[in-house]
Amino acid sequence: MDPKAAALLGAGLAAIGAGLAALGVGNVFAAFLEGALRNPGAADSQQGRLFIGLAAAELLGLLAFVIAVLLIFN
């Protein structure tokens, strides 16, 4: 296979990682909402943890994006 074509295919495959990170971020917020609706009094105090979870989950999607950009522009 042409190396350039292989790199572009790899960049396309990296989009799977971005999609999975979207699932992860959705999971974080879904779990937070589920808990927050059961106990709204405790919701505000847990917002910091919500964003820690968000940051951890979205980092992998951003890394997948970096890999894709590196594969396309190198």
Partner 1 sequence: MAAEEGKVDPMKQFTIEPLLGSDWQLADGLGIAFTNSALWMALTAVLVWVFVAGGMKRELVPGRWQMAVETMTGFIDDLLEANVGPAGRKYVPYIFTLFMFILFGNLLGLVPVGLIPGVHAFTFTSHFTVTGVLAIMSFSIVLIVGFAKHGLHFFSLFWPANTPAFLAAPISLIELVSFMVRPFSLALRLFVAMMAGHVLLKVLASFVIAGGGAGLGLGVLVGVPSFILMVAISALEILVAGIQAYVFALLTSLYINDAENLH
Q: Which stretch binds partner 1 (CB under 8 A): 7-15, 26-34, 35-43, 45-53?
A: 45-53
Q: Does 41 bind partner 1 (CB under 8 A)?
A: no
Q: By the 8 A CB rule, do 50 and 29 touch?
A: yes
Residue 70 within binding range of partner 1, rule CB under 8 A? no
Return the SS3 of 39.
coil
* Candidate ranges 7-15, 34-42, 46-54; the one touching partner 1 (CB under 8 A): 46-54
Instruction: Give yes or no for a contact between 69 and 18, defined as CB atoms under 8 angstroms apart.
Output: no
Helices (H), 1-74: 3-38, 40-43, 47-73
The residues of the shown chain that bind partner 1, judged by CB under 8 A, are: 45, 48, 51-52, 54-55, 58-59, 62-63, 65-66, 72-73
